[in-house]
């Protein structure tokens, strides 16, 4: 069973930008977000994916992801996904043998910036870079599926 073990953090400052690789534009939407799972469509640069993720709260969730044609993704995003869509730029930072993903949100979620890191186990020790702030892994407001219905601009 594919599992995602991921921790999510807010950022203290913009010092992370000095280490970041060039960003990739993301647009994503949700076909369904239920108490059991979310089904997401994402265009990530020049590629597109359908993703199914368990709705479990916390750092460990089931996750399945499959490539789909970008043209299909565009049709699904505009025709079937809940609105508004999630728009963000993702930056990667490789530090202490980990790959940090920094998401800078746009649109209705402008002003929100979060860092995520995928881990091998829930017990894996994470050396926290100086720019890392409060952990929000257990706060459902920061899940992308929640940001569709409750955008950051309304908090």
Q: How confident is the model over 62-91, as pLDDT tens digits?
A: 999 999 999 999 999 999 999 999 999 999
pLDDT in tens, 44-70: 999 999 999 998 777 888 999 999 999
| CATH number for 118 | 2.40.320.10
Number of domains in the chain: 1
| pTM for the whole structure | 0.92
Residue in the block written with tokens 């020049």:
46
Q: Are 27 and 86 in contact (CB under 8 A)?
A: yes
64 tagged catalytic: no
Distance of alpha carbon 15 from alpha carbon 94, whole angstroms: 14
User: Residue 123's domain spans which residues?
Assistant: 3-154
Q: Of these residues, 30, 91, 142, 143, which one is catalytic? A: 30
């Amino acid at each position: 069973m594919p599992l995602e073990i991921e921790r999510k953090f807010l950022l203290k400052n913009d010092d992370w930008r000095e280490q970041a690789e060039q960003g990739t534009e993301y647009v994503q939407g949700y076909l369904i977000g239920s108490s059991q799972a979310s089904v997401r469509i994402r265009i990530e640069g020049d590629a597109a994916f359908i993703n199914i993720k368990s709705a479990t709260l916390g750092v460990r969730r089931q996750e399945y992801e499959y490539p789909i044609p970008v043209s299909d993704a565009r049709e699904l995003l505009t025709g079937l996904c809940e609105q508004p869509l999630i728009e963000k730029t993702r930056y990667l930072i490789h530090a202490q043998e980990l790959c940090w993903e920094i998401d800078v949100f746009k649109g209705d979620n402008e002003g929100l910036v979060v860092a995520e890191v995928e881990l091998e186990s829930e017990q894996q020790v994470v050396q926290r870079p100086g720019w890392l702030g409060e952990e929000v892994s257990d706060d459902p407001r920061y899940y992308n599926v929640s940001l569709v219905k409750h955008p950051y601009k309304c908090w």
